[in-house]
Amino acid sequence: MSNLVFGKYIPIDSLMHKLDPRAKLIGLFLMIAAVFVPKSWWIFLLIALLLSIALLLAKIGIRMIVQSFKPMIMMMIFLLVINSLTVRTGDILFTIGTFAVYKDAILNTMFVIVRLLLMISITTLLTATTNPLDLTLGIEWLLTPLKVIHFPAHEVAMMVSIALRFIPTIIEETMRIMNAQKSRGVDFENGKLSEKISAILSLIVPLFSVAFERAYELADAMEARGYVPGAERTRYHVLKFRFLDFLFMFICTAILAVSILSRFYL
Amino acid sequence: MSLIVIRNVSYAYNETRNAVDGVSFDVKKGDYVTIIGHNGSGKSTLAKLIAGLLPIKEGKIIVEGKEVNEENIAEIRTRLGIVFQNPDNQFIGSTVKDDIAFGLENKQVRSQDMDAIIKEYAEKVGLTAFLNYEPQNLSGGQKQRVAIAGILAMKPDIIIFDEATSMLDPKGKKEIKKLMYDLAASGDDITIISITHDIEEVLQSDDCIVLNRGKLFMHDKPEKVFEDAEKLRQIELDVPFIEKVREVFAKRKIRLKANDLEGMVEELCRSGSKH
Ligand SMILES: Nc1ncnc2c1ncn2[C@@H]1O[C@H](COP(=O)(O)OP(=O)(O)OP(=O)(O)O)[C@@H](O)[C@H]1O
Ligand SMILES: [Mg+2]
């Protein structure tokens, strides 16, 4: 689990960490839009440059960013192959035997890949610098207008934050049950398909029963401490927009504006 | 008038049998009451009924003059806290301070007042240095202390402990028991109901309730309960070691009064030197 970097929070202190989660969420949406609009490499370069500055300010190492790309490599290769086979416009770049690879195939793939990499970096910037609880608070705030159509914004946020809180516990539990089953001779790595299925079942069944028990007990604990879904409650974490948050959102808006304008003028 | 009045309360999860069966007793303000009984004797069910976590269909429970029902439960819950057995399943916040804040948020304490309250109660349970810790980096005993701080922060009059120490290692058990004793000793302000299998704890309490198959089997001072070893044996409940010692000596016509081994040895030595 430790090699999973995408979406991981890095608990350090930095300028980016200090920004309001709502500002970062709004910034994320603006930036992702900005990445999708342009057709010019100059704009991608500009975005990449500004993003690097932001990552630097967030004290996120280049290693983490590169690692977060890793899961995408297979997909990129796949994309390249498909594009090479199907795109038949532009000049011929080179030929392999009788098979010609066209310039547009490479160019199209590069566009998609660059967009993907930028998107992943932007998302990493958000998740690495925002603790999950603040992120949920931010999402709840963004969803609040939907209360008009009776969307349970608070309940959804509470659910997400509890899920986040219990992920480590459930992982720990999975390990515990796996070890217990291993010591009873269940083999998770080898064996026929049918054996594998029964091994997985020997893990899933107790895991679910424990998870349900946890859920009931947690519900009791929450209720006993006065929690009533939908009832008015105050907040320990009060989100507050400050000057830097507005500045950050302004910069993101400016980038989106530039990238939209670039479609017309570049 | 008693702080908690329980009258003819029964509860059944299914038709086969009552998990709690016609139980009545009172709890006085400031008392430390222990509830003992076998697994499945209905102790947790009774605790949940008192805390309004299960609907009372038969009999009634009155807490601080208010009947436990849908109408009053929100108010009763601001005065009554419950600590459960599993430290993990009652840790709601993502860090210690968030967890202590959870009850305060529900109680609609003003945001700007919360930090001071959180610090005060974290200090009470000795977790000042752990405010930013996540549950996976805390021991079981520490997590239980967080739960207790979260409840104390709501300034309750009554705290129910449902086997709060039973999943902890010896060190954790000791920590939590000490906290409970300190709370009990703090005067008339806090009333404690503790469900336990720990005989030593029972002997510390003011009153002991024995449940058997959902029914109230005995209700007396703990010394009195254990004196009646025959009756406890009927339901195969263990008599504490200390009472076994007392019994053995009683058969030899030596009456020991002390409530701990140390005291008994003292008594024996004194009576021995007199001869
Ligand atoms: N959620 C439930 N659904 C159905 N039956 C239940 C439920 N909870 C408890 N019971 C049953 O009710 C009876 C009393 O259970 P309860 O949990 O109150 O006992 P307990 O005295 O707390 O036991 P323990 O010492 O094991 O905690 C038991 O027979 C148990 O099987
Ligand atoms: Mg129980």
Partner residue opposite B81 with nearest CB, options A168, A217, A224: A224
DSSP per position, B106-139: HTT--HHHHHHHHHHHHHHTT-GGGTT--GGGS-
**Spatial separation of the C-alpha atoms in residues B82 and A226, rounded to whole Å:** 11
B64 CA → ligand 1 middle, Å: 27
Query: d(Cα A90, Cα A79) in Å, to the nearest integer?
Result: 18
Per residue in A78-114, pLDDT (tens digit) is 988 888 888 888 888 888 888 888 888 888 889 899 9
C-alpha distances in angstroms, B39 versus B14, B18, B43, B195? 18, 15, 8, 11
Least confident of A1-5, A73-77, A209-213, A238-242: A1-5
Is pLDDT at A132 greater than 90 in this prediction? no
Backbone dihedral region for residue A97 (phi beyond 0: left; psi -120 to 50: alpha; all else: beta): left
Nearest chain B residue to A168 by CA: give it. B136
Q: Name residue B67's beta-bridge partners.
A: B62
Which range of residues forms the domain containing residue B156?
2-238
What pLDDT does residue A5 have? 60
Ligand 1 in reach of B273 Cβ (< 6 A): no
Amino acid at B220: D
Pairing of strands B191-195, B158-162: parallel
Distance CA(A130)–CA(A242), nearest Å, equals 16
What tens digit of pLDDT does each residue of A136-158 get?
A: 889 889 998 998 898 888 888 88
Same domain as B67, residue B106: yes
Checking if the pLDDT of A254 tops 60, the result is yes
Pocket test for ligand 1, best of B15, B34, B39 (most atoms within 8 A of CB): B39
What are the tokens at A14? 């930095």
Distance (Å, whole) CA B201 – CA B182: 13
From chain B, the residues in CB contact with A133 under 8 A are 94, 98
Q: Say what the pLDDT of residue A2 is.
A: 45
Which DSSP string corresponds to chain B?
Answer: --SEEEEEEEE-SSSS--SEEEEEEEE-TT-EEEEEE-TTSSHHHHHHHHTTSS---EEEEEETTEE-STTTHHHHHTTEEEE-S-SGGG--SSSHHHHHHHHHHHTT--HHHHHHHHHHHHHHTT-GGGTT--GGGS-HHHHHHHHHHHHHTT--SEEEEESTTTTS-HHHHHHHHHHHHHHHHT-TT-EEEEE-S-HHHHHHSSEEEEEETTEEEEEE-HHHHHH-HHHHHHTTPPPPHHHHHHHHHHHTT-----SSHHHHHHHHHHHHHH-
Tokens found for residue A259: 């990238």
Write the CATH number for B101: 3.40.50.300
CA distance B55 to B13: 11
Looking at beta carbons, which residues of chain B come within 8 Å of A236?
97-98, 101, 104-105, 111, 114, 118
pLDDT value, residue A4: 57
Spatial distance between the Cα atoms of A102 and A259, rounded to a whole number of angstroms: 27
Tally of CA atoms within 13 A in the half-sphere of A125 that contains its CB: 28
Which pTM was predicted?
A: 0.80
**B72 near A CB under 8 A:** no
Contacts of B106 (CB under 8 A, 6+ apart): A225, A226, A227, A228, A231, A233
Query: Among A131, A169, A222, whose Cβ lies nearest the Cβ of B92?
Result: A222
Same domain, B263 and B138: no
Question: If we measure between CA atoms, which residue out of A13, A240, A165 comes closest to residue B88?
Answer: A165
* Mean pLDDT computed over A246-258: 95
Based on the fold, state whether residues B131 and B258 are members of the same structural domain: no
Residues B255 and B181 in one domain: no
Ligand number with the minimum distance to the CA of B213: 1
Phi, psi of B103 (to 5 degrees): -65, -35
All residues of chain B having their beta carbon less than 8 Å from the beta carbon of residue A169 are: 88, 135-136
A46-55: per-residue pLDDT in tens? 999 999 999 9
**Do residues B223 and B267 share a domain?**
no
Number of domains in chain B: 2
- The sign one gets for the Cα dihedral A20, A25, A28, A33 is negative
- Supply angle C-alpha A79, A85, A89, rounded to 5: 105
**pLDDT tens digit sequence for A168-224:** 888 888 888 888 888 888 888 888 888 888 888 888 888 898 889 999 999 999 999
Residue owning tokens 């350090």:
A12
Enumerate residues 6+ apart whose C-beta is below 8 A from A27: A126, A248, A249, A252
Whether the per-residue pLDDT at A35 is higher than 80: the answer is: yes
A195 touches chain B (CB under 8 A): no
- Strand-pair category, B20-27 with B32-37: unpaired
Distance B40 CA to ligand 2 centre (A): 7
Same structural domain, B244 and B194:
no
pLDDT at A48: 94
Q: Same domain, yes or no, for B246 and B202?
A: no
Parallel, antiparallel or unpaired: strands B58-63 and B66-67: antiparallel
ipTM (interface predicted TM): 0.85
Query: Which pair of tokens denotes residue A91?
Result: 């000049």
Taking the CA of residue B85 as reference, the ligand 1 atom at the shortest distance is 27
**Do B130 and B259 belong to one domain?**
no
- Contacts with A244 (C-beta within 8 Å, 6 or more apart), sequence order: A15, A18, A19
Q: Is the pLDDT of residue A3 over 60?
A: no
Count Cβ atoms below 10 Å from residue B223 Cβ, excluding itself: 14
A226 in reach of chain B (CB within 8 A): yes
The residue to which tokens 């509890």 are assigned: A162
Q: Which of B232, B196, B201, B195 is nearest to B217 (CA)?
A: B232
Percentage, residues of chain A above pLDDT 90? 36
Low-confidence ranges of chain B (pLDDT < 70): 1, 238-240, 273-275
